[in-house]
Structure 1
Amino acid sequence: MNMEIYLQLTQFYQEYAANVDAAEWDSWIEMFTEDCTYRIQARENHERNLPMAALSLEGKGMLKDRIYGITETIFHDPYMQNHVVSAPRIKSLTPELIDCEANYAVFRTKNDGIAQVFNVGRYIDRIRNTPDGLKIESRICVFDNDMILNSLIYPI
């Protein structure tokens, strides 16, 4: 294994979590390639190769549209989220692409101060090594929960 790439990838996963948790949406969007895929899908549908997903976005334009919706049009009970992401597991590696996975847990805390486990699963990623650094070409967030509490607003 290439330790330098592994450390870059580990840092990349932590930056991703920090951007989402801090609502740094411009930085979050820049972590993706222009023609990216971002999908949040139940484990059952993923394992059965069914297309149904809780959220499915294609390209940076759709990511930007989602963030516009979150920040400008969706009204919801405010909450904070905090990601805990495992060390990545590299499944295949070329100079241009990294196929990898990492487990995640997302905790949600509402203004009443009660923290809940919101979503648990794994990222299935294809990361492109670009001149501007690592970028997500494809991220499938496969969640283990049978249901998502209330509604899915923020990215996982």
Structure 2
Amino acid sequence: MYLNAEAQNEIEQFFYEEAALLDEHRYSDWLKLFTEDCRYWMPIRQTRLATQMEDEFTKPGEIAFFDDDLPGLAKRVHKLESPYAWGESPRPRTRHMYHNIRAIAVEGAEITVSCNFVFYRSQLEDDVDWFVGRREDILRRVDGQLKIVWRSIFLDQTVIEAKNMNQFF
């Protein structure tokens, strides 16, 4: 699936702006990138034999690291922006890097976009977390702006060694 250069650039710039918002800890602004009916979902990955790869990730409705709608995301943002987010004090240094951004489907007004990501987070002297994986986002144009309708986050690792999961991908 190929988009014209202008559409491809618009999607890439949308993701790069999102990365900047997250790395600058501008979570309320980041939340505005989502539609009212959004879903933010990160299934759990399990190591499987090659013959069982279709069951590698939990399915929607099953246990997940994240399964948030807009009010759930808003609660997480409110917590991170409050003085009571002790796990985020001092504020971590983060870098969100998105690569291989490509449209994989277009259905009506919605575009499904896949990208690979590397997310780095460090805090204090020796707390360092790396997350690597793939995202699938469904984007919809609302009032002339791209918005995220559905985000699926597929981590490459099966064991998360981070001390908390307060971050957004």
TM beyond 0.5 = yes
Q: Any gaps of 5 or more consecutive residues in structure 2?
A: 47-54
Letter in structure 2 aligned against 1:28: W
Alignment partner, residue 16 of structure 2: 14
AA in 2 matched with 1:131: D
Does the alignment pair 1:90 with 2:103? yes
| Residue in structure 1 matched with residue 131 of structure 2 by the alignment | 119
Q: Deviations over 1:89-134 (max 9, x none)?
A: 111124511011100011112232x573421111111000222410
Rounded Cα–Cα distance in structure 1 between residues aligned with 2:56 and 2:112:
17
Q: Distance in 2 between matches of 1:62 and 1:48?
A: 20
| Equivalent residue number for residue 79 of structure 2 | 69
Question: What does the per-residue CA deviation read over 1:73-103, in whole Å, with 9 as the maximum and x for residues that have no partner?
Answer: 3311532211111031111124511011100
Aligned length: 154
Cα RMSD for the two superposed structures: 2.0
Matched residues, percent identical?
23
**Is 1:33 aligned to 2:44, yes or no?**
no
Please give the alpha-carbon distance, in whole angstroms, between the structure 2 residues aligned to 1:80 and 1:30. 22
Give the distance between the partners of 1:85 and 1:57, measured in 2 at CA. Answer: 22
TM-score, with normalisation over the residues of structure 1? 0.88
Q: Given that residues 107 and 115 in structure 1 are in contact (C-alpha distance below 8 angstroms), is that contact kept between their aligned partners in structure 2?
A: no
Q: Tell me, in whole angstroms, the C-alpha distance in 2 between the residues paired with 1:147 and 1:135.
A: 31
Note the C-alpha offset of 1:154: 1.7
State the SS of the aligned residue for 2:164.
Answer: coil
Distance of 2:130 and 2:63 partners within structure 1: 20
Match of 1:67, as an amino acid? V
* Contact 1:105-1:117 within 8 A present in 2 as well: no
Alpha-carbon spacing, 1:46–1:109, altered in 2? closer, same or farther (3 Å):
same
Q: Report what 2:113 is aligned to.
A: 100
Contact persistence 2:98–2:117 (CA under 8 A): yes
Secondary structure at the aligned position of 1:151 is classed as coil
Tell me by how many angstroms 1:49 deviates. Answer: 2.8
Compared CA separation, residues 48 and 35, structure 1 to 2 (3 A): closer
